Each structure stands twice: as structure tokens, then as C-alpha cells.
Amino acid sequence: MNEQVLQPKIKQLREVLGNIQQNYSPAAFANSFGAEDMVLTDIIARYYPEIGIFTLDTGRLPQETYDLMQKVKERYSVPIHTYFPDFSSVENYVTQYGPNGFYESVDLRKRCCYIRKVEPLKRALAGKRAWITGMRREQSTTREELKLSVFDDVHGIHKFNPLCDWSEKDVWNYIKQHNVPYNVLHDRFYPSIGCAPCTRAITPGEDVRSGRWWWENPDSKECGLHTRNKI
Ligand code: SF4
């Protein structure tokens, strides 16, 4: 039964990625090493070498994510371009607001996300024609209207969400069937993993994104990478 559900989804995913490689070059996959991104890493690294892979290292990631990054480097023979935040912006922020200033207000949280994620993303996408994410509709209230593709007017390029209609079960079935490495935090009730100080475990039944910025209202819970297009 699982196989019957998954195979058509894998086939469709490969068609989308093949189309992106052929018609939207240069394209890049934004990899944050979550479970969904590991599905895409596995398929892109094995079959679509012309699609570049990059990650944003905020400097505040959990050790378990760095361990996974190392594992991915050893298992797949594709480079993962790593972008760091501008060091002087981080220095100024931490000097002014402290290393954990993001807990004080949504504004300070968003400023930190801007420095550590949004600005590096702009650099990562410069010169690209398309970018690919592992977002799924089911993940949160902010992602209910997620489409397979949309023109991202913020970055002026096409944006593809080829796992938009995958369920959490599909993702984990793929990972298990293909023996794909994943973040061990997922086994400790962290369905969505970001920076260490802004991510915590959830209890069964809670929204999968509820462990991210848990002190904020659900409607504000995006980091600025995906908000403008509501996708
Ligand atoms: Fe800063 Fe937290 Fe955003 Fe990471 S998730 S960039 S630590 S506010």
C-alpha cells in the first residue's frame, strides 16, 4: 500500500526535478537537512547533478545538524555550498542585543533571522533562475496554500516546492526505503529543526511547526525565507 502511494509521487518528483534541471538552469536546492530536504538531497545527488545544492549555516545550528551535514558529505559525492552570515552584522547584533536577543520581541527575532538566513539566502540565489525547497502543505498554517511552483517576486526567480503534496508518512517511507541519513533529533520529537535556541521538541498531536519559535503566535512563525509569496 505504501509502495503504491509512494511510487507515483517519486515519479512525479523526478519529472519536476528533470524539468528544472533541463529548463531552469542554473537552479539551486536550499537544503536545511530536515527530513524532507534529505529526500531531495538523495534524489538530486544521485540523478540531477546539474542542480546545485546549498545550505545556510546560521552559526546557531544544533550539533546533531552539523553531524548530519558531515554524514551527507561522506555519503554523497556532491558539493554543498555553505553560506555564512555577514560577520559584521552578527557582531553588531550580538553587541547590541546580546547572543539571545531574539527572545525579546518578534522584531528582534526577525532581525536575527534576516542577518543569519535571509541576507545569506539572497547571496545564494543571486544569478540563479530557480530555487527548490522541501516545504510541504501539511507543515503549518502558514503553508496551507503552498503551490508546486510560483514566481518568487522577492528574488526574481522561479520557486519550486516539489514535495508540496507529500505527507509526513511519504517522507519517512522514502527515507526508510532508501536508507537515507537523517537528523537524529527527529527521533526525539523534533519534526521541524532550525537553530538550536529557537527549536524544541513537541508532544504528539501538536502542529509539526509548533516547536519552532514556540513563544510566538503561529501566524508569525516563518523566518523570512518564505513569507512574501505565502508558499
Ligand atoms: Fe536567529 Fe533563532 Fe532565527 Fe536562528 S531561528 S536566525 S537563532 S532568531
CA–centroid distance, 60 to ligand 1, in Å, is 7
**152-201 per-position pLDDT tens digit:** 999 999 999 999 999 999 999 999 999 999 999 999 999 889 999 999 98
Integer CA distances (angstroms), 231 to 99, 137, 148, 159, 160, in order: 30, 8, 9, 9, 10
The answer to whether the Cα torsion of 140, 83, 117, 99 is positive or negative is positive
Q: Which residues pair with 80 in a beta bridge?
A: 53
Helices (H), 178-227: none
Pocket probe for ligand 1: among 60, 97, 104, 199, the residue whose CB has the most ligand atoms within 8 Å is 60
231 residues of the chain, pLDDT tens digit each: 567 889 999 999 999 999 999 999 999 999 999 999 999 999 999 999 999 999 999 999 999 999 999 999 999 989 999 999 999 999 999 999 999 999 999 999 999 999 999 999 999 999 999 999 999 988 766 666 889 999 999 999 999 999 999 999 999 999 999 999 999 999 999 988 999 999 998 888 887 778 788 778 777 666 667 755 433
CA–centroid distance, 103 to ligand 1, in Å, is 9
Residue 146, φ and ψ in degrees, nearest 5: -55, 135
Nearest to 27 by CA among 153, 133, 120: 133
Rounded Cα gap, residues 146 and 135, in angstroms:
8
**129: which 3 cell numbers?**
533562475
Helices (H), 126-215: 168-177
Provide the whole-model pTM: 0.90
Residue nearest to atom 3 of ligand 1 (CA): 113
Q: Which residues line ligand 1 (CB under 6 A)?
A: 58, 60, 102, 109, 112-113, 116-117, 194-195, 197-198, 223
> Does the annotation count 223 as an active-site position?
yes
Which numbered atom of ligand 1 lies nearest the CA of 199? 5
**23: which 3 cell numbers?**
529548463
Query: Annotated catalytic residue: which of 112, 195, 198, 223?
Result: 223
